[in-house]
Every structure is written in C-alpha cells, then in structure tokens.
Structure 1
Amino acid sequence: MSTPDLNLLMTLDVLLSEGSVAGAARRLGLSPSAMSRALQRLRDCTGDPLLVRSGRSLVPTPRAVALREQVGALVQQALQALSPATMPDLGTVSRTFTLLCSDGFVENFGPSLLTRLDSEAPGIHLNFLPKIRRDGSHLRDGSADLETGVVGKGTAQELHARALFRDHFVGVAREGHPLLSGDITLERYAGCGHVADTRHGPGHDPVDVALAALGTRRHIVTSVAGFATALALARHTGLIATVPERHTRYLRTGMATFPLPLALTGITLSMLWHPRLDADPVHKWLRAVVHEVCTQ
C-alpha cells in the first residue's frame, strides 16, 4: 500500500470548510480544475465521494462530516509543529538548567539570577556546577545547558557564545600586608610570595608571561585551580593573589586590592551554549536574563 500524500490533508480541510471546489481553489491559490483533481485523489484515498452534488451545491457525505473535526485538528497540529516555537507562559514552565561556572561567578551574580527566576519563572530551577572538562563536551552531551568562561583556542568550534563583560586583573593581599606600605613597585610585587593559577599551565599564566617579557619572575609559593581558592589562601597568609577585578568583587571583601605594577591584557567573560538549544524559547530567555544580570 502506497503512502498517501499528506499535503491532501490541507486540501481536504479547506474543501470541507468551504463546501465548494471553486471556493477551496481560491483559498489555496489553485485553478478549479486542479482542485477537482485533488478532490478525486482524496476520493481515491478515502474510498468515499466526500462531497456530492445536491442541486447547484455540494454536500458532505457522512464520512466527510465525521472527518471534518479530525482533519481540522490534524492540520492545526501540523501547522504548529512546522512553525517557530513560541514562548510559553513562564509561570507554568517547569524545567531545570545547569550552568557551569566558577565560585566567583556564583557569588557575584548567583543571587540576582535566582531572584529573577523566582519572580518571573518560579518553576525554573538553576543549578550552578563547577567546570570539570573544558572541551565543551558537557554542553555537547547535554549534561550542562550553559557555561561561562573565556573563549579561547580550546573552545569547541560548534558552540555559540555571547560576551557578558570585560574584566581586568588586580592584585590582592590581606589587610596589613607589608607590600601595602609604600609604593608597590614591580620589584617588590615580584619578590612577594604568590599563589598562582594552574589552569594555564606552567609559564603560561598571564602574570608570568608579562613578567618574563620584563626580564623578571615572581616567587610562586603554591598553585591552585581557581581564583576563589587563591583568595582564600591570600586572606589567611602573606601570599599575593592576582585575580580578575569584577569576577571576584565579593570574594575580596575585607581584603586589600591594589593596581598591578605591570600591564596585563584584560579578559572577556562569555556564556556558551550548544546550537541545539539556540532556538529554544525558554533557554533563549534564560540567556537574556544572564546577560542582563551580568551587564547591569
């Protein structure tokens, strides 16, 4: 048995609605003869005349009457399925999204994000998790929905990205640190004990690259994999941490922040997502909320 032409559903819906070959032809932009041929194909498919002449008009058969509501619903469902997704009522949406980010991002922007979700979409839950893999595979396999970070050479090419804000590096020490007494020169800064970030690999940290260009190096006492941990160590020791200013705003509370005695290139923090979620209206709304919170 051959598969019927599903385009005939639209034709049947219009024919049953108009009750006229000429009227249906006008609505569909067809000639009366083309519509007559389509009606014959429908009769062949259904094994029923569907519309029969009664005087000068056509009347539906019992089968056509029975099909009218069913066909109309099928056509509407098909049109809806083939149309762009529309934004649902956020008050009725129940979904959970996972955002991969640093502790500093959670502390700086998490409260505002959760407040927005609670007021506009209380059924949407946002989980903050640390980044374990940096190759985009968590976005690709669906274990995460969004990620924040710096777009670089290692970022998967298929991912979509949108910049959130620009940040610059500052030095941070505990209150009363000897470095804070007097001018903070390059020599004094480099001579202090430092806590370094291991994520760039040995010698590739922006601080070390900039110092090497100036013919000097800093005294690294220990290394950690994150700015929050670096600040926690600097807060309770004599170590110096070099961190992004805006990204660590609240993490630096109660500590001394000072301009660096060397020029470092700033960073742009972006959010990343997989293309399969690009047109999802709720995910699109969440991305807009993250962008608004981070740029305020």
Structure 2
Amino acid sequence: MRFHGLDLNLLVALNALLTERNISRAAERVCLSQPAMSNALARLRDYFNDELLSTVGRQLVLTPRAEALLEPVREVLMRIESTISARWSFDPATEARSFNIQLSDYSATVFLPALIQRLSKEAPKVRLNLLPVDGRQSDVIEQGEVDLLIMPSQYVLAQHPTTPLFEERYVCVTWDEHPEIRTELTVEAYLAAGHVIAHFGAKAPVFEGWFFERYGVSRRIEITAPTLSSLPRFVVGTPRLATVHRRVALECQKSLPIKIWELPFEMPKLVQTMQWHRHRTNDASLSWLRQCAEEVGRAI
C-alpha cells in the first residue's frame, strides 16, 4: 500500500533503522535479511531525498531530517499497533495473554509474588515475561516493548499515564557487629562510613543527587552492586552501611547478621509507580492487569 508515493511497509523498516542506527540490528529487529534492510534504506533515502543515516567514524548517526522523523514515525506505528491489537473485552478465567513487565529486583521481591498468586487463581492462562531494569525506561515504553513499567515515581515519563502502587520508606543496615555503630546511627557516622549502593544503567542514582543537594557532600561509595536486594549482604563483616528499602531490610534480617537503623535525617518516601503507554489505556486485558496490580499494591 502506498501513501503519497511511499510504500507504507517501509515505515516499519524506517522505525527500526532510526531506533537501532545499525543496519544489521534493524534487520534483526523486524526479521529481515541485511540485504533487504539495505534495500529498504536505499528506497527511504530516495523517497525523502536525504541520507537519513550517515557514517561518522564507525557509527551511523541520524541526519537532522531523520531526527525530525523519529518521534512521528514511532507515534504512527504505536497508534496502529495499539488499535489493531487492543482487546475490547477480556475474560481472565479463559483467555490466554502474555504481558511484558519491567521492574526492579526490589519490586520482584516485595510486590510481584502477591500479584502472581492472584493471577494464578483468576487468570491461569496468563503469562508474564519479566524484564530487569536496565536504564532504558523511556525506550521500552515509547517503543511498546513492555506493557507495564513498575518504577519509583521519579523515573517515569511525563507523557504516559501512571498510577501509584504503594509507598516505601528507607532505613540503614549495618553488620550487627559493626565496630563503631553500636547504639546509635548519627549523621556524622553515616557520612563517615563507606557505602554500598545499587546502580542501574548509565544514569547516576537519583538518591545521590538528592543527598548532595540536601547536605552539600557526597557519600563515600565503596561498593556498587547490580541489585537492590543484595545490598544488606555486602555490609556483613565490614564497617560499611547501606541505605535500603525497609521491606528488603526486614526480609534480609531473617537470614543475615545485620542491624536495622532509622535514618538519621529525613528522606522522602519512595512511591512505587506503574506506567503504561498512553495508546494502550483502553486495552481491556491491560486494564484488567492494572486493576489487579493496584489492588495488590494497596494490600501490601
């Protein structure tokens, strides 16, 4: 099908090329051979009278025209996909559906088990594909790679709908035989200690920026871990401490020789939030899953 002389099938290839900025990866993304994707790029260049992707060193970069096309093309395809695939009715007791959910190991530990138990009873044929947090929150939502994103409120995107699931507060954990922090955790002791933190993706943790702005100093970070739930383990046998979610600390205290301390300063609560693409708001199956998630979150 053509629209103003453009083969509309090329829009899918164009989106893959603009997103991946690599012919081989773009071809793999839409299940084409590399020669077929190269041919599609040549046709697109001819239609737009623009290189779209130009070589700079060993990389392909978007031309200004391609940059201008990136969001509109993605928006058009998402509208088409959401219109075609949206379910206007959904019977959880009988229907099969697969959902992609991106969430941290913290949410997988304290929230997901209860949701899975509920889905197992109400929707036995529903499948969940769980994806780890990797710093690509904006990409996975915009490109429709996930159905739900479960993240702290400061990480979600302003242009897509959200709803809060539950709140959490932070505490500190130390080895229960810490050589210096024995009866009280003061601000001075907190600042003097080495810290164990979690870090996902390329961006610095939000907490670091907040803490520096509040106190004008940086924590001395000595260990950076890839998961939140591992932090209490890494303070055992050391003079370090970790600032963690209260539910994680309480769970780890059951099996680890750690002590839990209230923070020696005020810190905003974490608001765990659920987000989805705005074009999928009316999908009946996703609406049902969101309702289940909200009810589970309120019961935590």
**Which bracket does the TM-score occupy, shorter chain normalised?**
0.5 to 0.7
Matched residue, 1:184: 185
**Higher mean C-alpha deviation, range 158-167 or range 134-143:** 134-143
Q: Which runs of 5+ in 1 are unaligned?
A: 1-80
Partner of 2:294: 291
Quote the residue 2:170 is aligned against. Answer: 169
Give the equivalent residue in structure 2 for 1:114: 116
Alignment of 1:9-28 (within 5 A): none
- CA–CA distance in 1 between the matches of 2:122 and 2:158? 33
Which residue identity does 2:187 align to in structure 1?
L
1:9-88 to structure 2, matched below 5 A, reads 87-88=89-90
| Distance in 2 (alpha carbons) for counterparts of 1:178 and 1:294 | 38
Alpha carbons 1:179, 1:189 under 8 Å: kept? no
> Is 1:96 paired with 2:98?
yes
Q: Describe the superposition over 1:261-283 as per-residue Cα deviations: whole angstroms up to 9, x where unpaired.
A: 12222221100101222111111
Assess, with a 3 A threshold, how the Cα gap between structure 1 residues 220 and 120 changes in structure 2: closer, same or farther.
same
Question: For residue 191 of structure 2, what is the amino acid of its counterpart?
Answer: A
**Cα displacement (A) at 1:104:** 1.4
Q: What secondary structure is seen at the aligned counterpart in 1 of 2:172? A: strand
Q: What's the counterpart of residue 232 of structure 2?
A: 231
**In 1: Cα distance, 2:183 partner to 2:174 partner:** 14
Partners of 1:157 and 1:215 in 2: CA distance: 28
Whether the 8 Å contact between 1:167 and 1:247 is mirrored in structure 2 is: no
Is the Cα–Cα contact under 8 Å of residues 177 and 237 in structure 2 kept in the other structure?
no
> What fraction of aligned residue pairs are identical, expressed as a percent?
25
CA distance, structure 1, for counterparts of residue 120 and residue 111 of structure 2: 14
When residues 181 and 251 of structure 1 are mapped into structure 2, their CA distance, relative to the original with a 3 A threshold, is closer
Deviation sequence 1:116-168 (CA, Å, 0-9, x none)? 1111000001122212243422123232110111233x643331100112222
Output the CA distance in 2 between the equivalents of 1:180 and 1:247. Answer: 21
Please list every run of 5 or more consecutive structure 2 residues that lacks an aligned counterpart in the other structure.
1-82
Whether 1:136 and 2:138 are equivalent positions in the alignment is yes
Residues 153 and 270 in structure 2, CA contact (< 8 A), matched pair in contact too: no
SS in 2 for 1:92: coil
Describe the shift of the 1:187–1:163 C-alpha distance in structure 2 as closer, same or farther (beyond 3 A): same
For the 8 Å contact 1:95–1:123, the answer to whether it is kept is yes
1:231 deviation in Å? Answer: 2.8
SS of 2:159's equivalent in the other structure is coil
In 1, distance between residues paired with 2:268 and 2:168?
9
Within the candidate set 268, 272, 289, 2:271 is matched to 268
Letter in 1 for 2:223: T
Q: Distance in 1 between matches of 2:135 and 2:218?
A: 30
SS at match of 1:263: coil
Matched residues in 2 for 1:120 and 1:159: separation?
28
The answer to whether the aligner puts 1:257 opposite 2:256 as a matched pair is: no
C-alpha contact (below 8 Å) 2:249/2:260 kept by paired residues: no
Find the aligned partners of 2:142 and 2:218 in 1 and give their Cα distance: 39
- CA deviation digits over 1:14-40, x for unaligned, max 9? xxxxxxxxxxxxxxxxxxxxxxxxxxx
Q: Look up the SS of the partner of 2:157 in the other structure.
A: coil
Deviation at 1:86, TM superposition (A): 5.1
8 A Cα contact 1:170 1:260, kept in partner: yes
Secondary structure (helix, strand or coil) at the match of 1:118 reads helix
C-alpha contact (below 8 Å) 1:105/1:247 kept by paired residues: no
After superposition, the Cα gap between the structure-2 partners of 1:109 and 1:212, relative to the gap in structure 1 and judged at 3 Å, is: closer
Question: Larger Rg: 1 or 2?
Answer: 1
Please give the alpha-carbon distance, in whole angstroms, between the structure 2 residues aligned to 1:211 and 1:179: 24
Shift of 1:225: 4.1
**Mapped contact 2:171–2:249 kept (Cα < 8 A):** no
Contact 1:173 1:235 in 2 (8 A): yes
Deviation at 1:249, TM superposition (A): 4.7
Distance across 2 between alignment mates of 1:212 and 1:156 = 23
Report the Cα distance in structure 2 between the residues aligned to 1:125 and 1:213, rounded to whole angstroms.
Answer: 43
The structural deviation recorded for 1:115 is 1.0
Change (3 A) 1:117 1:227: same
How many residues align? The count is 212
The residue that corresponds to 2:158 in the other structure is 157
SS in 2 for 1:149: strand
Separation in 2 of the partners of 1:187 and 1:169? 18
How far apart, CA to CA, are the structure 1 residues paired with 2:295 and 2:221? 38
Superposition deviation, residue 222 in structure 1? 2.1
